[in-house]
Amino acid sequence: MRKKILFLKKYLKNPQSVGSVIPSSVFLGQAIYNSIKELDQASIIEIGAGTGAITQHISSLNPLLVEIDKEFCTLLKQNYPHLDIVNSCAIEQLKKIDEKVGLVVSIPLINNPFKELFIPILNDLYSRGLLRWCVIFTYGLSNPLEQVNFETKERKRFVLKNIPPAHVWVYS
Ligand SMILES: C[S@@+](CC[C@H](N)C(=O)[O-])C[C@H]1O[C@@H](n2cnc3c(N)ncnc32)[C@H](O)[C@@H]1O
């Protein structure tokens, strides 16, 4: 409950960055885990980890967590002391990538200026072979990473039991 209240508080303060009123459901977390397991093994970076709703399903894969909000980071550090956690904007972390990675994206992209910086970085990492795959969920109907030149783009899963219902897209 504490996590849900904190999440709602953050949403009310910054709706564009937080994107929903409640953390992702266990069903969405499981769908993301299942999608990752179908992909090649890679070092995983989860950007926009929030209160850890997705992290709890993928923590066994040892993702690096990146979260811009300080309070969310403190919570993540308490709950996932074995994981590396960075309190920064994801863009700064993506610029440092120098090994092959898989990316789990929770940052809302609809009407978010973050997208303008995010797309060129993804294209650059993918063209250099450093970005192996990307898993993202979206509440909208359209392809959220249409402008990235991935070879394969697939709406892999639809999770009705989430507020709001979400589509899981997988790119490689
Ligand atoms: C839709 S919430 C998802 C939280 C959690 N992964 C979940 O599924 O419940 C988006 C998260 O992205 C974080 N975020 C937004 N912009 C960010 C950025 N530029 N860099 C890192 N994290 C960011 C927000 O603080 C928030 O925790």
Residues 27-58: tens digit of each pLDDT: 999 999 999 999 999 999 999 999 999 999 99
**CB under 8 Å, gap of 24 or more: what pairs does 71-77 form?**
71/6, 71/10, 72/6, 72/10, 75/3, 75/6, 75/51, 76/49, 76/51, 76/52
Q: Is residue 17 part of a domain?
A: no
* Interval between CA 32 and ligand 1 midpoint (Å): 15
Q: Is residue 15 part of a domain?
A: no
pLDDT tens per residue across span 105-125: 999 998 899 999 999 999 999
Question: Ligand 1 atom 2: the closest Cα is on which residue?
Answer: 18
How many domains does the chain contain in total? 1
Q: Is residue 101 part of a domain?
A: yes
Pick from 65, 69, 168 the residue to mutate for probing ligand 1's pocket: most ligand atoms within 8 Å of its CB.
69
Q: Is residue 71 part of a domain?
A: yes
Q: Which atom of ligand 1 is nearest to the CA of 22?
A: 9
Q: What tokens appear for 154 in the block?
A: 């697939």
Q: Is residue 171 part of a domain?
A: no
**pTM of the model as a whole:** 0.96
Q: Is residue 63 part of a domain?
A: yes
Per-residue pLDDT, 110: 87
The mean predicted confidence, pLDDT, of the chain is 96
Q: Is residue 155 part of a domain?
A: yes
Domain that holds residue 27: 23-166
Q: Is a pLDDT exceeding 90 seen at residue 100?
A: yes
Q: Is residue 131 part of a domain?
A: yes
Torsion of CA 37, 118, 124, 153, to 10 degrees: 40
Q: Which atom of ligand 1 is nearest to the CA of 108?
A: 1
Element (H, E) at 43: strand 43-47
Question: Ligand 1 atom 13: the closest Cα is on which residue?
Answer: 48
Tally of CB atoms within 10 A around 144: 22
Per-residue pLDDT, 111: 86
pLDDT tens per residue across span 50-83: 999 999 999 999 999 999 999 999 999 999 999 9
* CB of 136 sitting under 6 A from ligand 1: no
Q: Which atom of ligand 1 is nearest to the CA of 90?
A: 20
Tally of CB atoms within 10 A around 78: 9
Pick from 106, 122, 137, 162 the residue to mutate for probing ligand 1's pocket: most ligand atoms within 8 Å of its CB.
106
**Distance between CA atoms of residues 153 and 172, nearest Å:** 7
Q: What is the CATH number for 142? A: 3.40.50.150
Q: Which atom of ligand 1 is nearest to the CA of 55?
A: 6
